[in-house]
A and B are shown apart, each in its own frame.
Chain A
Amino acid sequence: QQQVKQSPQSLIVQKGGISIINCAYENTAFDYFPWYQQFPGKGPALLIAIRPDVSEKKEGRFTISFNKSAKQFSLHIMDSQPGDSATYFCAAPSKGSTLGRLYFGRGTQLTVWP
């Protein structure tokens, strides 16, 4: 059973545009929703994370929006740049006492054209 569903699988945006990636969660814990960014040949790196007590978190050009009733959260990249081209993963923590376990979405390959 897939706990985190991510879409789209791939996304092409022009430089300066807005990139939007969506995730839906189910049967997960409800305390922390991170996004990871992975460049080719590198490991995933924590980009930004949100706790569900807020509906939005912004860090520079990156914003997470959280919709508790719909069990969805999304990543918005404003003024997208070619350097943002990477694979993005959303994640949600597991229920129970499994320390720090995350369920990852299947990733979104973002390409930003100059």
Chain B
Amino acid sequence: DTAVSQTPKYLVTQMGNDKSIKCEQNLGHDTMYWYKQDSKKFLKIMFSYNNKELIINETVPNRFSPKSPDKAHLNLHINSLELGDSAVYFCASSRKGRTGTYEQYFGPGTRLTVT
């Protein structure tokens, strides 16, 4: 009964490579997000999609490109990986709760290590 899943869980790669992280949610939510969590645990939003439409695009290098093939999936492709991209990347999804507020549910994370 996985809610938000990500693959892979760990990703080790060399500088300059291109890699992708996949995210799927089976909660029926309309909105999905990508966050980056650095070594100090700071959660920084990168992108958000609502019904496959990009609604948040933070100041992120254009080497990062999200793609949402349908509202249950949000993938993240990273070109020309750099050392500073090493972090844990979290996917999340949200729905409008009974009280009218949005509750976010996070995936287990993908730990990316660039060597």
Contact = CB atoms under 8 A, between A and B. Distances in A.
A and B found bound together: yes
Contact of B101 (A43, A44, A51): A51
A100 B40 contact: no
A107 B55 contact: no
A87 B42 CA distance: 11
Given A51-B99, A102-B104, A44 B94 contact: no
A93 B103 CA distance: 10
Contacts of B40: 106
A18 interface: no
B3 to A, nearest CB: 10
Interface string B89-115: 010101010011111111111000000
B48 interface: yes
Contact of A101 (B41, B45, B100): B45
Given A32-B102, A100-B94, A43 B48 contact: no
Nearest to A89: B43
Contact of A99 (B45, B99, B102, B105): B102
A100 B31 CA distance: 8
A98 B100 contact: no
Contacts of A107: 41-43
Given A99-B48, A99-B94, A104-B43, 16 more contacts: A32-B99, A38-B41, A41-B109, A44-B43, A51-B99, A51-B101, A93-B101, A98-B56, A99-B30, A99-B55, A100-B48, A100-B96, A101-B56, A102-B104, A106-B42, A107-B42
Interface of B: 4, 30-31, 33, 40-43, 45, 48, 50, 55-56, 90, 92, 94, 96, 99-109
